[in-house]
Amino acid sequence: MNVEIEELYQEVILDHSRRPRNFGDLADAAVRVHGDNPACGDEIHLCVKFDAEGGLQDIKFTGYGCAISQASASLMTMKLRGKSRAEVMELLHAFHSLVTDETSETPKELGDLVVMRGVRKFPQRVKCAMLAWRAVEQALEQGAGEATVSTEPA
């Protein structure tokens, strides 16, 4: 990747970590998931509201931690709001291969999330980038109530 693109990606990550989008609480959330990445000290509190078909009607988060974890959560909520369950799972798998698989093509449907592809060189940062996605996966699986997910085995 050329240097100019890397710098542009850095800027997007910094912008989202400083001014996270969809940051806040949903009073009438169906599910709340607390995501914990003890390896880096990142935390995400995700709240999700479903539509009648089980799609993501609304999604917000709060949290703190490194720029990668917070920017990934911010970009993720922008991408996933209004998506069906199937679309969310597809994007989850596409994002996972973006940040872990050296050979993967960059899927077009990920949009701005491609800025995260640099973490594939750093296994510890993959946990930061995946934290919010692990939380949303848990939210879909669970459907209601509260849960905690961690990047480390219990």
Would you say 75 and 17 are in contact if contact means Cβ atoms under 8 Å apart? no
Taking the complex as a whole, how short is the minimal distance between the CB of residue 139 and Zn ion, in angstroms? 20
- Which residues, in sequence order, are CB contacts of 104 under 8 Å at separation 6+? 97, 98
Helix runs in the chain, H state only? 3-18, 67-80, 85-100, 123-142
Taking the complex as a whole, how short is the minimal distance between the CB of residue 36 and Zn ion, in angstroms? 11
- Residue 9 or 49: the one with the smaller Cβ distance to Zn ion is 9
Per CB under 5 A, the list member of 48, 88, 126, 128 interacting with Zn ion is 128
Stretch in the footprint of Zn ion (CB under 5 A) among 10-18, 33-41, 80-88, 104-112: 33-41
Q: Which helix (H) or strand (E) holds 60?
A: strand 56-64
- Residue 66 or 132: the one with the smaller Cβ distance to Zn ion is 66
Site mask for Zn ion (CB under 5 A), range 60-89, x = bound: ------x--x--------------------
Taking the complex as a whole, how short is the minimal distance between the CB of residue 127 and Zn ion, in angstroms? 7
Interaction of residue 140 with Zn ion, rule CB under 5 A: no
The amino acid present at 14, given as its one-letter code, is L
- Of the CA atoms within 13 Å of residue 24, those in its CB half-sphere come to 7
Count interface residues toward Zn ion (CB under 5 A): 5
The conformation of residue 43, written as its DSSP 8-state character, comes to E
Give the residues lining the site for Zn ion (CB under 5 A).
Answer: 40, 42, 66, 69, 128
